[in-house]
Chain A
Amino acid sequence: MTMLETRSLMKSFGGIRATDDLTLSVEPGELHAIIGPNGAGKTTLITQLCGSQKPDSGTILYKGQDITRVPAHKRARLGITRSFQITSLILDMTVIDNIALAVQARQGSSFRLVRNARTISAIRDRAMELLTRVGLSDKANMVTSALSHGEHRHMEIAIALAAEAELMLLDEPMAGLGAEETRAMIDLLNGIKGQHTIVLIEHDMDAVFALADRISVLVYGHIIATGSPAEIRANKDVEAAYLGEESGAA
């Protein structure tokens, strides 16, 4: 069964068609990258997939089920998680509390008002394990705002992992990272690849071609090509619309 499918998705802001007859299909277990020039509507697409914006028309299917009108918090419960392009963490909480909250979300009801959340080892231990996995265990008790941008991006991945999501939507995890940090992130994503279905939106072409199983190219809200990295490299339309421009600039 297809993990995620969109059919003729449309979304306009004023006169601008940010998503234009967008049809996409993501297979279980693959890392599916979505690339496209600035303003192609990548982030608009992700917000519709995670439910924070509703499409004007069209359908979104998740494991065959229509989720077009399902609100964001319920999609999260269905197993869809999203990381943010602009780091979206709870900055005034500690690092481990951020991760613990995500673990808590996974472990059932949080309508519990009595027991001290920080003493529940099932939550704390899992949060620590995830921090170790993304290499941040030594910063667990620091306030999140004190960490670097690269470390914040790693926290985002830990939160996505905490959700044990079947489908991870990663919105530009390399944005604003230095060369070293990007390499660390590629290693991290390579480590989790295959265990989750991942939709990756990314500007960094080296990262995309190093990680993706399949790539879809988005131009003016419409997908012009989908294929393996090799196929995309060889595609003339893609070259014209996007890659040519990039290699020309380089």
Chain B
Amino acid sequence: MSRRNIITLVVMALLAVLPPVFYLTGNAFYLDLATRLTILAIAAVSLNLILGYGGLISFGHAAYLGIGAYAVGIPAHHWLYGGLESLGLATTSGYVQIPLAIGVAALFALVTGAICLRTKGVYFIMITMAFAQMMYYAIVSIEEYGGDDGLVIDSRSELPFIDLDDPLQLFGLAYVSLVVAMLIVRMIVNSRFGMVLRGAKGNNERVVMLGFNTYLFRLTAYVIAGAMAGYAGALLGNFTTFISPEMMDWGRSGELMFMVILGGTATLVGPVIGATLFIVLEEVLSSLTVYWHLPFGLLLLAVVLFGKGGIMGMLRADKEDSE
């Protein structure tokens, strides 16, 4: 077994075992922390598909988290206060909310991606950010859903067999979702589709000359990543039970990017390690000092400058490419 696979298994095992142990020994707070980082890790894993394997530096990924969260919050709001019954959107049913989160996120990715992917380099970064900010201001302007004050989700999604009001079950769902997301990404990047996507990252002109329409491959990956992040957003809404436009702000997108780069792009478990470090460091440092942003920033800077390839890059001795 390669070193990478061992690291992946160890990280995932620790993430499965430690949070419930903390919870059952009376440290409920740590379970909360773990649930949040697990959900953000799903978004980071999805971002890694396009950023790490596709070389597409999307600076608007938090928009999908927001879309997913509002896809839970808006139906729950109408369920309580009325409206949209005719559309079937006044509901707390997870069967409606989760497909809605995935569907709207995928649609947003399809429409914006079709435009963004016509551009390259810095322009791509800027335009993905611009679309996400458009989403942000759109939500801010809708007063019915709280505008920039945000929206309280009075009731979590109802799912069969799972009670999301139970923190342990919510964590369990997030964890299983993360594992599934990682398996999906691993499957995609090792497929023939994935080979084209990775080839286009390394040398797009060459891959076009081989006869591939790389635009379509990238757009497809972009939509898959958006849909996955939309799902993560639905979980996030259920976790925080409060959503605000602030969670789709460009700074949030930057944090997701940082998780991916910190952990190691184009590695399966890198985004998970990145998300974990990010959330834990944020927590530890902010408990030590109100000026925690300074050491936090310096630490992150050091990893990027000296640890080429992020944490996974530092841990990895071999250069083999397989997962």
Contacts and interface: CB of A to CB of B under 8 A. Distances in A.
A88 interface: yes
Interface stretch (A60-68, A103-111, A212-220): A103-111
Contacts of B203: 88-91
Interface string A94-121: 1001101110110000111111111010
Contacts of A77: 211
B196 A101 contact: yes
Interface residues of A, number: 38
Interface string B195-239: 110110011011111111100110010000000000000000000
A102 B188 CA distance: 19
A88 B206 contact: yes
Contacts, number: 97
Contact of B192 (A81, A92, A94, A115): A115
Contact of A73 (B192, B194, B198, B212): B212
Interface string A51-86: 010000000000000000000111011000110100
A146 to B, nearest CB: 9
A117 B199 contact: no
B191 interface: yes
Contacts of A184: none
A93 B191 contact: no
Contact of A105 (B193, B211, B319): B211
Nearest to B202: A90
Given A94-B321, A117-B190, A72 B202 contact: no
B208 A92 contact: no
Nearest to B224: A113
Interface string B114-152: 000000000000000000000000000000000000000
Contacts of B210: 76, 81, 101-102, 105, 159, 163
Contact of A112 (B192, B198, B209): B192
A223 interface: no
A46 to B, nearest CB: 11
Interface centre among B207, B209, B212, B216, by most chain A C-beta atoms within 10 angstroms, is: B209
B191 A90 contact: no
A80 B268 CA distance: 37
Contact of A72 (B188, B190, B209): B209
9 contacts: A76-B211, A104-B195, A105-B211, A110-B192, A110-B217, A113-B188, A116-B187, A117-B192, A117-B195
Interface of A: 50, 52, 72-74, 76-77, 81-82, 84, 88-94, 97-98, 100-102, 104-105, 110-118, 120, 123, 143, 159, 163
